[in-house]
Each structure stands twice: as C-alpha cells, then as structure tokens.
Amino acid sequence: MDENKALADKLAPLCKDLAQQVEALRTATDGPLDLDSKTRSSIVKVAQDIIHASRPPYAQFSDHYVIFSETAVQRTFLKWDAFDKIPLEGSISFADLAAAIDADVFLTSRMVRMLISTGFLLEPEKNHVAHTPRSSIFVTDKGFSALMKINLYDEFVKPLAKPEYFETYGRKEPVDKAHSPYAFGVGAPGKTIWEIWQSRPGMMATFIQGMKGANGFMNIHGVYDFSWIATEGAKHSPERVLLIDVGGGSGHTLKYILSTVPELPKSQCMLQDLPVVVDAAEKANDPELEGVQFLGMDFHASQPVQGALVYYIQRCLHDYDDDESKKILQHIADVMAADSKLLIGEMVLAPDSPPFFYGVDLHMMAVSGKERSVEDWEMIVASVGLRIEKIHFGTSLSVVECVKV
C-alpha cells in the first residue's frame, strides 16, 4: 500500500540516524547517571520519533490507558511497600507476593501483570515476578523511592488535571501559594503545600528524603568551576565570607563545592536556611561541614551577611512566582559588594529542552511556582539591579552567574 511505502520512506532515515546515535554512545563522555545527557537524549529523541511515526494518531487513546494504569499500580505498590517484597535476586510467586502485602492473589496478579506488560517488572517463570533495573531502584535507593512517593501517591500531578481550578481562579498562571492547584486539588484551599504536608504524619520526612534522592541526579556536578572563589578569596581578609549557600538545606551542595575545592577555607563558608533546618544540619555533626558557619535566617527577609564574595541559591526560586522571586533576590542584591557574584542553580528552559523539564515546570505550577527560560532569568535579574554574566548549562540544572550592573 502507498501508506506503508510512505511510512517506510519516513522511517528509513530515522533508523539510520538512530544507528549513528547509538554508535556515538561508544565514545561518549556523559556520566552513566546523567539525567538527560546529550548523547542519551539524542537517542531517546530519535527513538520517540520512530515510535510516533509508526503509530497512528488514534493510538494515543491506548497510550494514555497504559500510562495511567502503570502509574496507578506503581502508586499502590509504593503505598503497600510491595516492591520491597520482591527479591533483588531471583523472583517471587504472585501468591507469595500477595501474602506478603496482605492482598488478594487475584488483585495482586492483575496489578503485577500490568507492570510486566510494560517491562517495568519481569516474569522469569509462570506466575513469578522479578525486578528490572527500573523497579529495583525503588528498593535500593530510598531517596528515589521517597521522591516517587511524593509524585505518585501524594497525587502531586492530579490537581493540574482539574480544570475546575482554572474555572474557579481564572485561566491564568497560578501565583498564590495558599490557593495553588495543589491546595485546591487536595481540598485544602487557603493552605500552602508546607502547611498541608505538616498536617500529614511523615510527609515532611518523606519530602526531605525525596529531595536527597533528587539531588543524586538533579545537581550542578561538573557544571560550574568554583575554584576561582578560593583563588580570589586569598586576596581578601580572612574575615570576609567567601561563599554563602542560601536556602542550602542540609548542606548537600555546599559539601559538593567543598569537595571539589578543598583549598576553600570552610571557616569562610556559610550555610543558611530556616533556623530549624540549620539547627538540624549543625547538630548532625557532618564531618564534611566541620568548620562551616551556620546561620538561621529566612530568605524572604533581609540578607544578614553583607559583602560576601559569592551568594549561591539552588532550587529555591522555582518554588515561587516572579514577583516573590524578585523580592528574594532583591534581599541578596541589596547587600552585594561591587565584586560579589550571585549564582543561581536552577533549570533553564529552552525550546528544545527534554519533556522532563516541562514536566517539572507543570509540577511547580501545581504549587504556584515555575521553571524559567533564559529570557525569564534575564528579566528577573535585571529587575533587582543585576545582570547575567554567563549561563553555565548542565544536563539537569544550570548555573546562572550574575553580577551587579
């Protein structure tokens, strides 16, 4: 048929391109855990083009059925700790798995079959189930598992599927943290996500663990060279703070920076966050943070340290709308010295960014936050009297380097 010939003509160059991309992987330098390495992203993009070209438009109906059904089972199995009951080596029978999670064997079998059909789990022998690399990470990496729990069984995305929110609040970008799509979707309008989670036993602990999991693949590793801070800092008084990690949580990014620049004096580095967060980080007595200054503060209020060489803020501004982000940055800009720099570690959206980036953006929309493009960052930075000197692009997070105008 002519349609088949036309499809074959369309697929042939795509398949050739895919073969070339796969061959390029042999000499690629991308790390194995890079979330969206250029080499792997190219392979995935071509493979998706082949799939989309091969399937008729009506196949979207069945595709959505599969995605939603797989997600529903994953959500339920995470809630039941079912993945932990499947051995990392070997397999378990459907019946034994059902007994382990205190569920009916017929129900368990139907759910397991869904995940086997998508390749998420394996059936090495009849009515037995085993892990794949995709499923075993739910067991071996508790940070990742916690992250998935936040996104799956806490119904983080569901609110965005509620057109009723936009009919109630208007068809416009959400900006009110207390009247976000998330708050509306879970039946708690008037409360921020933090207030909602604090009322749920264990939810904040899951969130903290989940963020540790996210830091494993959403980070600035290798993106920015921090060594200049130590070199430049040596020219200044030992009393000057050289690096402040603003809103730095437990200090995971600060620890990374210190590990890559061992000559950077810890005594001239500072971890800032809310008092309760910083207090917990200090009491943890992490040897990697020994000697670092700890300061409890709120970045919505005035920045207490003036004239630091570098102010670094990572994955904080995407929680907020533009106006609130400007206020946060203004507090920093107000105390920067002429030679100070502001470094912002965030996603930077581009027209060719992978779908994951835009998925994260919609996740942030659920809590009235957003990811931003180069133009967005230029606008926000300029509004507080700064300019972008350079954007250091990474495979997940980038570093926006800013100086005073």
The answer to whether residue 220 sits within a structural domain is no
CA–CA separation, 369 vs 318, rounded Å? 5
CA–CA separation, 260 vs 222, rounded Å? 9
Q: Please tell me whether residues 144 and 250 are part of one structural domain.
A: no
Phi and psi at residue 192, to the nearest 5°: -80, 165
Q: Please tell me whether residues 240 and 208 are part of one structural domain.
A: no
Q: Please tell me whether residues 276 and 295 are part of one structural domain.
A: yes
CATH code of residue 61: 1.10.10.10
Range of the domain at 157: 150-215
Nearest to 269 by CA among 240, 297, 298: 240
Q: Please tell me whether residues 67 and 92 are part of one structural domain.
A: yes
The answer to whether residue 60 sits within a structural domain is yes
Q: Which of 128, 179, 318, 331 is catalytic?
A: 318
* Final residue of a structural domain among 116, 133, 148: 148
Paired residues of 92 in beta bridges = 129
Q: pLDDT at position 1, please?
A: 65
Paired residues of 373 in beta bridges = 349
65, 74, 178, 143 alpha-carbon torsion, rounded to 10°: -140
Paired residues of 311 in beta bridges = 244, 342
| Known catalytic residue at 52 | no
* Final residue of a structural domain among 129, 148, 167: 148
Q: What is the DSSP letter of 161?
A: G
Domains in the chain, number: 3
What sign results for the dihedral spanned by CA atoms 204, 208, 209, 213?
positive
Q: Please tell me whether residues 239 and 136 are part of one structural domain.
A: no
The answer to whether residue 221 sits within a structural domain is no
Q: Please tell me whether residues 137 and 8 are part of one structural domain.
A: yes
Q: Please tell me whether residues 92 and 155 are part of one structural domain.
A: no
> Quick count: other Cβ atoms within 10 Å of Cβ 321?
18
The answer to whether residue 222 sits within a structural domain is no
CATH code of residue 283: 3.40.50.150
The answer to whether residue 175 sits within a structural domain is yes
The answer to whether residue 177 sits within a structural domain is yes
Residues in the chain: 405
The answer to whether residue 122 sits within a structural domain is yes
Q: What is the DSSP letter of 130?
A: B
Residue 137: CA count within 13 A, CB half-sphere: 13
Q: Please tell me whether residues 167 and 52 are part of one structural domain.
A: no
Q: pLDDT at position 157, please?
A: 55
Q: pLDDT at position 37, please?
A: 65
The answer to whether residue 51 sits within a structural domain is yes
List strands edge to edge, sheet with 386-392: 293-296, 269-273, 243-246, 310-314, 341-346, 398-404, 386-392
Q: Please tell me whether residues 292 and 358 are part of one structural domain.
A: yes
CA–CA separation, 207 vs 150, rounded Å? 7
Q: Please tell me whether residues 120 and 10 are part of one structural domain.
A: yes
Q: pLDDT at position 67, please?
A: 86
* Final residue of a structural domain among 120, 148, 176: 148
Q: Please tell me whether residues 44 and 169 are part of one structural domain.
A: no
CA–CA separation, 114 vs 106, rounded Å? 13
Regions of the chain where pLDDT drops below 50: none
Q: Please tell me whether residues 59 and 168 are part of one structural domain.
A: no
Q: pLDDT at position 160, please?
A: 60
